[in-house]
Amino acid sequence: MLLEGRIGPRFQEEAYRVLRSNLLVVLSDLERPTVMVTSSDAGEGKTSTAVNLAYSLALAGQRVVLVDLDLHHPDVHRWVGIHNEVGASDVLLDRRPIDECLQYVELAADPVRPRGLYVMGTGPRVADPAELLGMRRTSGMLESLAAQADVVLVDTPPVLLVADALVLGRMTAGALLVVEAGRTPVAAIEHAKDALIRNQTRLLGVVLNKFKLKDSPDSGYGRYGYYGDGYGTPYGDDSDGALSANGPTVVGLSDDHDRP
């Protein structure tokens, strides 16, 4: 599976290279290489950002593990073309060991320098995602993955819709907050940022997605109801994220990250 099949036009590839470079600088100062990728609302492109960033890191020679912990709306497996029959929920419920739940995605079939990444889907559905993710076993799983990788990227639900992202925040080195240009209200961004910091989660940076010069601020809080209607309800289509004509723009990603 090639990077070009995910990132698209050259300027988008370059945008992810910039994001990759800045993230690696930030991670060099942190104890854990585990980063969660989230958003304030649904449909802002967090999953596409996580996948494309993981691809970019892996093609640069980094050992990457991408973990889908959005147990409400699992989507990473569809983006990378793997099955979701086993995954994180199996590990957290002690049904399978970690190595049985990782799937390898080859990005470049080079006999001299093969490049790829390991991906862990969510696995089977569970009744109470926040309770499951809050277990000590979750932090243990992430620590085990971090010990084997240069970077672990964790796709989580949006911060303002369910508690899961805040539960996971303390288990990671920090968060990348994906914002959709022209749609995400400034108030929602501020609420998400404040929620992360109050939860003692470092905000490593903000990624402005689907950026157009003609974009203007939107109003309202988007599709909050999709998550609120109950477990497993789809909350929107992430597929128009980084594959759209508009690439991500890095906003404020540096080693001067916010601390609680």
pLDDT of residue 11: 62
pLDDT grade for 212, boundaries at 50, 70 and 90: low
Taking only the tens place, the pLDDT of each residue in 95-105 is 999 999 999 99
pLDDT of residue 215: 44
pLDDT of residue 29: 86
CA 29 – CA 56 distance, rounded (Å): 20
Q: Which long-range contacts (C-beta less than 8 Å, at least 24 apart) are formed by 193-198?
A: 193/258, 195/159, 195/160, 195/166, 196/159, 196/165, 196/166, 196/169, 196/258, 197/258, 197/259, 197/260, 198/260
pLDDT of residue 253: 52
The domains of the chain are located at: 4-251
Q: Does CATH number 3.40.50.300 belong to domain 4-251? A: yes
pLDDT of residue 186: 92
| Opening angle at CA 259, ends 253 and 260, nearest 5 | 145
Taking only the tens place, the pLDDT of each residue in 3-54 is 334 445 566 788 889 899 999 999 888 888 999 999 999 988 999 999 999 9
Query: Rg of the chain over CA atoms, in angstroms?
Result: 17
Q: Which two tokens stand for residue 214?
A: 């003609």
| Residue 220 confidence (pLDDT) above 90 | no
Give the least confident one: 35-44, 73-82, 251-260. Answer: 251-260
Contacts of 111 (CB under 8 A, 6+ apart): none
pLDDT of residue 35: 97
pLDDT grade for 167, boundaries at 50, 70 and 90: very high
Considering the entire predicted model, what is its pTM?
Answer: 0.80
Average pLDDT, the chain: 81
Give the least confident one: 98-112, 119-133, 230-244. Answer: 230-244
pLDDT of residue 182: 83
Residues, the chain, total? 260
pLDDT of residue 258: 47
pLDDT of residue 31: 83
Q: Is 106 helix (H, G, I), strand (E, B) or coil?
A: strand
Taking only the tens place, the pLDDT of each residue in 144-161 is 999 999 999 999 999 999
- For residue 9, the Cα-to-chain-centroid distance in whole angstroms is 21
Give the least confident one: 74-88, 166-180, 221-235. Answer: 221-235
CA 34 – CA 23 distance, rounded (Å): 11
CA 134 – CA 149 distance, rounded (Å): 23
